[in-house]
A = this chain, B = another copy of it.
């Protein structure tokens, strides 16, 4: 479904939303450990999420790290996909045609369309905050711990 980069981006953002605040920033090492991702690769992805502070924020130096603002927590998950450039999933044809279109549909288009709509809905309506709180309250998992 998603690339590794996107999976790490989603898990990392959920973790940051669970654990960070402006006064308690999280280090790359902590985040990567918490979500079972390769630290160096995760660093690249966090950079994308930090770009223009569009999803998360960061500060360098001692006691620095990554955090998310209350305002950013209200963003839908879709913004995470946009930040890692995987937003186009929802425009793609399931059979790989260059354009998914109503006027030149593939043989699965009209059956796939409602499913795609539900996927879009899932990522557009759920905010980072909602999902991270749910994960917190219901003990849901964002790593492969035993």
Contact = CB atoms under 8 A, between A and B. Distances in A.
A97 B2 contact: no
Contacts of A104: 141
12 contacts: A1-B89, A2-B94, A11-B95, A14-B107, A97-B141, A97-B144, A105-B141, A106-B135, A107-B132, A111-B126, A112-B122, A115-B119
A21 to B, nearest CB: 19
Q: Which of A95, A112, A119, A140 has the most CB of B within 10 A?
A: A95
A94 B112 CA distance: 18
Contacts of A14: 107
A119 B94 CA distance: 11
Given A106-B142, A140-B106, A11 B96 contact: yes
A40 interface: no
Contacts of A99: 144
B118 A115 contact: yes
Interface residues on A, range: 35 or more
Q: Which of A114, A118, A126 has the most CB of B within 10 A?
A: A118
Q: Which 8 A-B pairs have the closest CB atoms?
A: A7-B96, A107-B135, A107-B140, A98-B144, A107-B131, A115-B118, A104-B141, A10-B95
Contacts of A94: 1-2
Interface string A84-113: 000001001011111100001111110110
A101 to B, nearest CB: 9
